[in-house]
Structure 1
């Protein structure tokens, strides 16, 4: 299994970064994982802004040479791991800008006759690790699971990815947030995962 970790948080002294390190540590101890790439969107200076004009057209985004490196990473990976905070009930703008550009028509999906397109990323799987200030059940109780619906149904299922695992960690700004227990859970998961 080959794994791409997409990390989206602007501070390496953060809990989100600690989660990314636990993912890497567990994965390196897992014989089922044959290769790991880490993409830190902030460190990379990834530009989340969409630009469409006479030179850059939306219909050509799947062949934009500036995004080729990132398309190759997605093609290479069997498993995509996203690490990010939940802000205002959804992932940060930096990650959404990456998604807008990378999950483009004719790369991630292809329009066809009928209601739904053909997903072109079939066979891949996803793990989403997210943190939030509020309680863990906040998205489910107050937002009707908007975060999971956005990521799983509106994005990943749409492009053919059916296996999506979520770790939503709440109370992360509280000293009673059980940080070490949650970090250990992520380490153990990636140390043992087999597909």
Structure 2
């Protein structure tokens, strides 16, 4: 199982970074994992801004040479793991901009003329590991599960990825947030997960 880990937090002293390290540690000990690649969007200085003009047309995004390296990461991966905080009820803008730019038509999906396109990333799986300041059930009760609906249905199902698992950890700025227990849960999951 080739595994791509995409990290979207600007601070390597953050709790999100500790979750990233536990994801990597678990995957490194997992006999099902053939190879791991880590893509740190902030370290990469990834530009999340879409540009369309006379030189950059939306219909050509799937072939933009600036993004080929990232498309190759996605093609290569059997499993994609996203590690990010939830800010304002959704992932950071840099991660959504990555999806905007890389998951382009004729790469991640193809129009069939009907209501829904054909997803071109079938067979891959996704795990989302996210942290937030508020209570764990805040997105469900206050935001009608907007985070999961966005990531699972609006993005991943749209491009053909049907198996999506979420770890949403709340109260992460509280000293009673049980950080060690949550970090260990992530480590144990990725040490044993198979596709």
Please, what TM-score do these two structures have when normalized by structure 1? 0.99
TM-superposed CA distance for 1:194, in Å, is: 1.3
Q: Secondary structure at the match of 1:82?
A: strand
Alignment partners' CA distance in 1, 2:194 and 2:119: 24
Q: What's 2:54 paired with?
A: 54
Give CA-to-partner distance per residue, 1:70-109, whole Å, 9 cap, x none.
Answer: 0000000000000001010000101010010111100000
Alignment partners' CA distance in 2, 1:98 and 1:111: 21
Q: What's 1:106 paired with?
A: 106
Displaced runs of 4+ in structure 1, greater than 2 A? none
Alignment partners' CA distance in 1, 2:102 and 2:79: 15
Q: 5+ unaligned residues in a row in structure 1: which ranges?
A: none
TM-superposed CA distance for 1:114, in Å, is: 1.4
Alignment partners' CA distance in 1, 2:94 and 2:18: 19
Q: Secondary structure at the match of 1:20?
A: helix
Q: Secondary structure at the match of 2:51?
A: coil
Q: What's 2:73 paired with?
A: 73
Q: What's 1:15 paired with?
A: 15
TM-superposed CA distance for 1:113, in Å, is: 2.3
RMSD of aligned residue pairs (Cα, Å): 0.5
> Number of paired residues?
195
Q: 5+ unaligned residues in a row in structure 2: which ranges?
A: none
Please, what TM-score do these two structures have when normalized by structure 2? 0.99
Give CA-to-partner distance per residue, 1:104-142, whole Å, 9 cap, x none.
Answer: 100000001211100000000000001000000000000
Alignment partners' CA distance in 1, 2:2 and 2:155: 21
Give CA-to-partner distance per residue, 1:19-72, whole Å, 9 cap, x none.
Answer: 000010010101100010000000001000111111111111000000000000
Alignment partners' CA distance in 1, 2:8 and 2:115: 32
Q: What's 1:2 paired with?
A: 2
Q: Secondary structure at the match of 2:159?
A: coil
Q: What's 2:87 paired with?
A: 87
Where do 1:167-186 residues align within 5 Å? 167-186=167-186
Alignment partners' CA distance in 1, 2:154 and 2:167: 18
Alignment partners' CA distance in 1, 2:77 and 2:151: 18
